[in-house]
Amino acid sequence: MQTTSPINGAGIRGERVIEQLCRVSPVKMAGSGAPRVLISPKLEAACGHGDGAPCFFTMSHPATGDDVTYLATASTICEVNVHKPSYTSWFVGDSVVEDGSTYLATPMDPLFLILPALERACTRGFCDTETLLEASGLPPCCFYILAKTNLDSVCSSKAVMDQKYYQLDETKTLKWLKTKVENTKNGLRSLRSLGWADAEEGVLLPYAVGLVCEYLPPHRVESLRTYLNVGMEPASPAVAGMPYPVSEVDTQPKRKKLTPAEAAKLKAAESRQLNKAAKAAKEAAGTRKLSGFFKPRAGTNQSA
C-alpha cells in the first residue's frame, strides 16, 4: 500500500517494508526522485487528511523557534529527526537507497507544542478550543489529537452552556512539568545497559530536567529549574563524573582513520617488524648465553 503526504512542502511517497515494533519505509522526495528511509511507530491515518495518510507538517520548535518537521497520525504527534552518517546506504527490498540518511519519528506530548499558543491566546482571559487551535499554528490534521489532549493538566477551565473555556495555569503547568521530569528519571533508570540504574539523584535529576527543558522556551526553563531547585548543571552525565554510556567499546582509545595508501604502508611496516623479529629468534636458537662462558669448572672451590 502506498501513501502520499506533504513534508516541508514536498510530496512524500512511502511503502511499508517492516511492521513489527516500528515501521520502516522508503520515502521519495518529489521532484528529486531520491529515496529516504523513515523509522516510525506503527502509523494510523491522520483524521481529516485528504488522502488518508499520516500527515507531515512543519512548525516552530517550542524552545528554539526553528522550523521542525513533525508527523501527525490519528492518535499522536511525532517529532522527526534526521541522522546523516557518511559513506552509508540502505538495502530496501530489491533496491538500494544510496543516501544513508535515516529519518526517525519519535512520539511526543502535544502539550509541549500547545503551551506557546496557550500563552499567546489566553493571557487576558479564558479562550475556547477554536481560538486555541487557530493560535497554535497546527494544521487541521492535528485538530483531532488536540481535541483529545487533556488541557486541564495545564489549564484552569470553566464551562458555559455546552462550550468549555481554558486559561493557562502556572501552578498546574509546573506540576505537569514536574511529572514529566519524574517520568524521564524513571525512564533513564530503566536503561541499565547505559549505567543509569544506580545513578545518584544529584546526577540524574539535573539531567532529566535538561531533557525536558529541551522543549521549553527560556523563561519557562528558568521557572521549572527554580520550582525544582535545580541549577544549570552539566548537560552530560559524563561531565558530572558518571560514565555515559558504560561500554567496553568506549574505553578503547580512538584510532585515526587511515587512507587506503596509509593503511597499506602501515601494514607493510608491521610485516617487516614481524619478519625481523622472527629472523632474530631463529638465529638465536642454539646459541649459548654469555653467562655460560663464565661458569666455574667442575671440582673448583667457588669460595677460593
Do 6 and 104 share a domain, yes or no? yes
Which of the listed residues 251, 271, 292 is the one where a domain comes to its end?
251
Do 148 and 222 share a domain, yes or no? no
Domain containing 40 equals 2-108
* Angle of the 170-189 helix axis to the 201-213 helix axis, nearest 10: 120
Do 95 and 121 share a domain, yes or no? no
Task: Taking residues 139-150, report their average pLDDT.
Answer: 82
Could you list the beta-strand ranges (E) of 127-246.
127-128, 155-160, 163-168
Do 35 and 93 share a domain, yes or no? yes
Residue 215 maps to a domain: yes
pLDDT of residue 215: 93
In degrees and rounded to multiples of 5, residue 156 shows phi and psi of -85, 150
Do 185 and 102 share a domain, yes or no? no
- Quote the CA–CA distance of 192 and 18 in Å, as a whole number: 28
Domain count, the chain: 3
Residue 285 maps to a domain: no
pLDDT of residue 223: 93
Which of the listed residues 168, 191, 211 is the one where a domain comes to its end?
168
Do 11 and 75 share a domain, yes or no? yes
Beta-carbon contacts of residue 237 (< 8 Å; ≥ 6 apart): 199, 203, 207, 243, 244
Residue 119 maps to a domain: yes
Do 103 and 118 share a domain, yes or no? no
In this predicted structure, the answer to whether residue 222 has a pLDDT above a threshold of 70 is yes
Residue 271 maps to a domain: no
Q: How confident is the model at residue 39 (pLDDT cuts 50, 70, 90)?
A: confident
Higher pLDDT, 213 or 26: 213
**Are residues 56 and 42 in contact, defined by beta-carbon separation less than 8 angstroms?**
no
Task: Taking residues 126-150, report their average pLDDT.
Answer: 83
Do 234 and 247 share a domain, yes or no? yes
Residue 291 maps to a domain: no
Q: What percent of the chain has pLDDT over 90?
A: 17
The whole-model pTM stands at: 0.63
**Are residues 201 and 185 in contact, defined by beta-carbon separation less than 8 angstroms?**
no
Q: How confident is the model at residue 15 (pLDDT cuts 50, 70, 90)?
A: very low
What are residue 36's DSSP bridge partners? 27
CATH at residue 128: 1.10.10.10
Do 140 and 213 share a domain, yes or no? no
CATH at residue 28: 2.20.25.530
Residue 129 maps to a domain: yes
175-199 as b/e: b if 16+ CB within 10 A: ebbeebbeebbeebeeeeebbbeeb
Q: Could you report the per-residue pLDDT of 183-208, keeping only the tens digit for each?
A: 999 988 887 767 777 778 888 899 99
**Helix (H/G/I), strand (E/B), else coil: 157:** strand
pLDDT of residue 13: 30
Do 45 and 82 share a domain, yes or no? yes
In this predicted structure, the answer to whether residue 12 has a pLDDT above a threshold of 50 is no
pLDDT of residue 117: 86
Q: Could you report the per-residue pLDDT of 263-300, keeping only the tens digit for each?
A: 666 777 777 777 777 776 666 666 655 555 555 665 55
DSSP for 126-156 reads: -EEHHHHHHHHT--GGGHHHHHHS-GGGTEE
**Are residues 23 and 16 in contact, defined by beta-carbon separation less than 8 angstroms?**
yes
Task: Taking residues 127-139, report their average pLDDT.
Answer: 83
Residue 87 maps to a domain: yes
**Are residues 237 and 206 in contact, defined by beta-carbon separation less than 8 angstroms?**
no
Residue 25 maps to a domain: yes
**Helix (H/G/I), strand (E/B), else coil: 194:** helix
Do 197 and 241 share a domain, yes or no? yes
Q: Could you report the per-residue pLDDT of 202-218, keeping only the tens digit for each?
A: 888 999 999 999 999 99
Higher pLDDT, 33 or 37: 37
Mean pLDDT of the chain: 73
Higher pLDDT, 50 or 162: 162
The residue among 22, 16, 23 whose CA lies nearest residue 2 is 16
Do 155 and 101 share a domain, yes or no? no
Q: Could you report the per-residue pLDDT of 233-262, keeping only the tens digit for each?
A: 544 444 444 444 443 434 444 556 666 566
pLDDT of residue 209: 93
